[in-house]
């Protein structure tokens, strides 16, 4: 056996060990059917809306990593942590996204049947009005029992013509136009995983599974990497409010990217214009927006 082949075998040993260890771990005793993992920084205007939405949509727990917020994010999240719906972890530093994901897998994976790894501008959405998210995920995974995860495509929502931050209302009520099928970004995915099958996260969009592991999309097609071009989703998608208003884009880009350590690696205004597609009117989240407003009122702080 040559040295190159030996090195390849040695690299596979940790994955093989993990796969054997989890093969005998069983699925019993999981506290949460479907949990969400997110890393946030300075999400004061919308974090309550995001949490309230996912609770209404059927998420049973949120593991929230605070990447050094300097606004009221932690203050707004704390009541949810006190009631046990959110586990909040202070996790400062640059480029900490996948580190947070791996921390959540290590500490909390055993408590969850499924874990979704998304951002605070992404809302997991069941396209079946009478079905909550855990039901849809379980249905798809039962159809694909060998799959380790579900790759969920983005629906890319634009600015809806807002140059400045809207004076009232939240994300769901204000940003109701999205890109059409096949437009920029709609082939990108985020992943919902069976945590016991994941070796680690090295990329925010998809994990490295243990030996032989793979993700499928809602149609049972194998998804490779962070992109999955294909038909428009009809069962589940990630509503990605990537741009919001032009004013908010400019503010947000100062924070840098959660998965990049270089502080100079920031998004440009050209990216805003490339992604600001408002082809399709889509108010499918309006019922959630109304329910959330009843619970917490206006989700945007007063503009100064």
CATH number reported for the structural domain that contains residue 103 in this entry? 3.90.550
Q: Does a structural domain hold residue 71?
A: yes
**Domain assignment present for 16:** no
Number of other CB atoms surrounding residue 182 within 10 Å? 11
State pLDDT tens for residues 259-302. Answer: 445 456 577 889 999 999 999 999 999 999 999 999 998 655 44
Domain count of the fold of the chain: 1
Mean predicted confidence (pLDDT) in 10-14: 48
* 150 beta partners: 192, 216
Q: Is the pLDDT confidence value at 10 over 70?
A: no
Report residue 40's pLDDT band, with 50, 70 and 90 as the boundaries: very high
> Given this model, what pLDDT does residue 262 score?
47
DSSP codes joined into one string, 220-286? S-EEBTTB---SPPSSEEEEEE-S--HHHHHHHHTT--TT---TT----HHHHHHH----EE--TTH
60 lies in which domain range? Answer: 29-296
Residue 266 in any domain: the answer is: yes
The one-character DSSP state at 179 is: P
- Domain membership of residue 12 (yes or no) is no
Please check the confidence at residue 24 and state whether its pLDDT lies above 70.
Answer: no
Question: Do the domain assignments include residue 301?
Answer: no
- Rounded distance, CA 195 to CA 188, Å? 21
Phi, psi of 110 (to 5 degrees): -65, -15
For residue 187, being part of any structural domain is answered with yes
Element (DSSP H or E) covering residue 214: none
């Amino acid at each position: 056996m040559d040295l190159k082949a030996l090195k390849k075998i040695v690299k596979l040993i940790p994955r093989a060990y993990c796969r054997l260890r989890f093969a005998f771990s069983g699925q019993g005793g999981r506290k949460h059917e479907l949990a969400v993992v997110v890393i946030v920084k300075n999400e004061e205007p919308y974090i309550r809306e995001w949490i309230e939405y996912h609770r209404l949509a059927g998420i049973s727990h949120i593991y929230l990593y605070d990447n050094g917020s300097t606004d009221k994010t932690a203050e707004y999240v704390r009541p949810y942590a006190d009631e046990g719906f959110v586990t909040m972890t202070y996790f400062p530093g640059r480029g900490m996204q996948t580190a947070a994901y791996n921390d959540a897998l290590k500490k909390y994976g055993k408590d969850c049947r499924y874990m979704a790894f998304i951002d605070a501008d992404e809302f997991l959405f069941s396209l079946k009005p009478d079905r909550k998210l855990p039901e849809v995920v379980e249905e798809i995974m039962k159809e694909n029992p060998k799959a380790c995860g579900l790759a969920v495509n983005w629906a890319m929502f634009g600015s809806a013509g807002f140059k400045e931050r809207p004076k009232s209302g939240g994300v769901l009520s204000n940003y109701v136009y999205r890109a059409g099928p096949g437009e920029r970004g709609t082939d990108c995915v985020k992943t919902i995983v069976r945590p016991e099958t994941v070796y680690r996260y090295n990329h925010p969009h998809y994990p490295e599974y243990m030996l032989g592991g793979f993700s499928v999309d809602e149609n049972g097609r194998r998804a490779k990497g962070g992109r999955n071009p294909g038909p428009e989703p009809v069962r589940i998608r990630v509503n990605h409010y990537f741009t919001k208003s032009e004013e908010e884009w400019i503010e947000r880009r100062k924070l840098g990217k959660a998965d990049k350590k270089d502080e100079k690696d920031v998004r440009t205004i050209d990216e805003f214009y490339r992604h600001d597609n408002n082809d399709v009117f889509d108010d499918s989240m309006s019922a959630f927006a109304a329910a959330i407003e009843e619970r917490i009122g206006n989700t945007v702080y007063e503009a100064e």
